[in-house]
Structure 1
Amino acid sequence: MSAVADVIVVGGGVSGLTTALQLAERGLRVRVWSRDPAAGTTSAVAGALWWPYRIEPGALVSGWSVETLRVYEELAAAPAETGVRRVAGVHGGERLAALGPWARELDQVSEVPEGLRVTLPLIDMPVHLRWLEGRLAAAGGVVERRAVDGFGEAAAEARVVVNCTGLGARELVPDAGVRPVRGQLVVVENPGVEEWFTRADPASSATTYFFPQPGGLLLGGTAEVDDRRTEPDPGTAREIVERCARVRPEIAGARVIGHRVGLRPARDAGVRIEAEELPGGGLLVHNYGHGGAGVTVAWGCARAAARLVG
């Protein structure tokens, strides 16, 4: 028999788990319905450097991002437990004057010839997702493997439903503005790289980045809009390694230990956080459309969604 719930959160990635945690720690009885285990969600594939990347609307993103940054700075005190570390690196081609108001909240940042050198939270997502699940359980929340065909199924069991379904919102809401942005990564044995690097060309689907994670060096990447392929492309993988090796030549000889593909859940109109009534008097709260920055805004968006729950 299912547990009684005040709120059912549909979606078990970083947005769903963080939102559920906010609600559970406010004393609500929360269940999370997720089609996939956390390790099987798009969130688990993310390179997960904190940075407001490919996300709108800018006027709201700045506040959500800074709120989340402050949480990660606290969590970085226990990296083995939370998966969050503060790591230095360079954003190639960036300048402070070109960034949003959130950039004023950064410390340990300086302009160098290559771009911006800054220390930021870098999140080991498999570890962080397990930590979120554990903290949610400690607060009384329950995570269940369950797929849904409509929010009415959840509304039949709780007065409030929170939609954190990412790409699934395209069919479930339905919202035709939700679309995938395909990201491919290569994982190699780390040849001694201790700092991250990124360089994004807004006019291209190819990006260059590498993130030193405990399980290896993550190399990227791509940002291919409306591409739903979930299998790694061998040619793309070779190009990713080549681009990263132009920045750090030792990467060229690193042994490949894995490939990852994730479909970022972008939305043409940007992030949607709003509430609407369901037939029968229930409340549906939306929290989706985070694109390539779900990790970056997770806590700010979760708090905004939780306020709508009441």
Structure 2
Amino acid sequence: MESDVIVVGGGVVGLTTAVTLAERGLRVRVWSRDEVTATTSAVAGALWWPYRIEPVAEAGARALASLRVYGELAGDPGRTGVRWVDGVHADTVLDGLGAWAREVPGLRQLPAEEVPGPYEVGLAARLPLIDMPVHLMWLRGRFEAAGGVVERRVVSGFGEAAARARVVVDCTGAAARELVPDPAVRPVRGQLVLVENPGIEEWFTSADAGSSETTNFFPQPGRLVLGGTAEEGDERLVPDPATAAAIVARCARVRPEIAGARVLGHRVGLRPARLGGVRIEAVPLPGGGRLVHHYGHGGAGVTVSWGCAERAAELVEA
């Protein structure tokens, strides 16, 4: 066989898994339908925070494992796209979070008078903020430096990959609904607006996990990313003008200068949520091979990518 492992899917979960495997000495190929900078991962905000992901206990541990890696990568933000940035999580109480929150350095409850916008409670934090187009290209370069190969390829099943590698890793995200097939996969639509940054240096979020609307902005190089939505069952990939206007209006309630910022563009992506949470599971393939499913990361694929990659790698090598 030409490879030990074929990873199907070239987003952040697929590339991080591929890097982890290749750096362990395995011959790895990534099959990706899209260019890495055109995947759903490229649309992400992308702030480290375990948002809309289950099961909570496992997600917290894997998020912390990833936090340690992002902390190291933030030492070279120009190459990796990872920076430490201060910000506020509004409508969030520290005691309402899981045990993982106690291990996030500097995470603290704010006095009501320090919470921006029309909010009464919030947390202050300094967290990794990732410029995803830059980070995805860095991941690809790191993977290729370890001997990996990325190929553009559309798959309709895992049989073709199984004929070319002893292990196939399924990092297909929302596409797993049809490919596996897994009816538990539920795409959750997210829409963003990109505007010229009017001088905002801190990120802000107010994201109720049960709401279809969020209010967040993330200062990225050359732009301010405004969000957002979390629309279950909506698979439209075309930006909605009314939704975009509502996003800008919500963000302007926190920072009024956003209302007059020039719009640079719009982005839409489908978060790969799954009823029952993340699936990292090995199943046998005909002929003695193995298929490792690794999908269902919801709104936290970036946040848990390194921790989940370690678990997937354990199943590959078992």
Question: For residues 185 and 59 of structure 1, what CA distance do their matches in structure 2 show?
Answer: 29
Describe the superposition over 1:261-291 as per-residue Cα deviations: whole angstroms up to 9, x where unpaired.
0100100110000101011211000110001
- Give the aligned partner of residue 151 of structure 1: 158
Question: For residues 296 and 5 of structure 2, what CA distance do their matches in structure 1 show?
Answer: 21
- What amino acid sits opposite 1:201 in the alignment? D
Describe the superposition over 1:125-163 as per-residue Cα deviations: whole angstroms up to 9, x where unpaired.
000000000000000000000011111110000000000
- Give the aligned partner of residue 266 of structure 1: 273
- Give the aligned partner of residue 20 of structure 1: 18
Report % sequence identity: 71
Is the counterpart of residue 224 in structure 1 residue 235 in structure 2?
A: no
- Give the aligned partner of residue 240 of structure 1: 247
- Give the aligned partner of residue 27 of structure 2: 29
Structure 1 counterpart SS, 2:165: coil
Describe the superposition over 1:95-116 as per-residue Cα deviations: whole angstroms up to 9, x where unpaired.
1111011101111222112300
- Give the aligned partner of residue 291 of structure 2: 284
- Give the aligned partner of residue 119 of structure 2: none
Structure 2 counterpart SS, 1:227: coil
* Residue among 116, 121, 127 paired with 2:123: 116
- Give the aligned partner of residue 205 of structure 1: 212
Describe the superposition over 1:180-231 as per-residue Cα deviations: whole angstroms up to 9, x where unpaired.
1000000000000000000013342010000000030000000000110000
- What amino acid sits opposite 2:23 in the alignment? E
Structure 1 gaps of 5+ residues are: none
Is the counterpart of residue 68 in structure 1 residue 66 in structure 2?
A: yes
Q: 1:87 to 1:208 in 2, by over 3 A?
A: same
TM-score normalized with structure 2 length: 0.96
Question: For residues 70 and 172 of structure 1, what CA distance do their matches in structure 2 show?
Answer: 33
Question: For residues 92 and 208 of structure 2, what CA distance do their matches in structure 1 show?
Answer: 11
Question: For residues 237 and 75 of structure 1, what CA distance do their matches in structure 2 show?
Answer: 32
Q: 1:14 to 1:202 in 2, by over 3 A?
A: closer
Question: For residues 202 and 164 of structure 1, what CA distance do their matches in structure 2 show?
Answer: 24
Aligned alpha-carbon RMSD (Å): 0.8
How is 1:32-47 mapped onto 2 (pairs within 5 angstroms)? 32-47=30-45
Kept in 1, the 8 Å contact 2:88–2:205? The answer is yes
- What amino acid sits opposite 1:44 in the alignment? A
Structure 2 gaps of 5+ residues are: 116-121
- What amino acid sits opposite 1:205 in the alignment? S
Q: Once the 2 structures are TM-superposed, how far is the Cα of residue 5 of structure 1 from its aligned partner?
A: 0.4
Is the counterpart of residue 190 in structure 1 residue 188 in structure 2?
A: no
- What amino acid sits opposite 2:48 in the alignment? W
* Residue among 292, 302, 308 paired with 1:301: 308
Question: For residues 210 and 45 of structure 2, what CA distance do their matches in structure 1 show?
Answer: 21
How is 1:40-189 mapped onto 2 (pairs within 5 angstroms)? 40-112=38-110, 113=112, 114=115, 115-189=122-196
Describe the superposition over 1:41-100 as per-residue Cα deviations: whole angstroms up to 9, x where unpaired.
000000010000000001211110000000000000000000000000000011111101
Kept in 1, the 8 Å contact 2:101–2:107? The answer is no
TM-score normalized with structure 1 length: 0.98
Kept in 1, the 8 Å contact 2:186–2:274? The answer is yes
Show structure 1 runs of 4+ deviating over 3 A.
none
Structure 1 counterpart SS, 2:314: helix
Count matched residues: 308
Question: For residues 292 and 192 of structure 2, what CA distance do their matches in structure 1 show?
Answer: 32
Q: Once the 2 structures are TM-superposed, how far is the Cα of residue 22 of structure 1 from its aligned partner?
A: 0.4
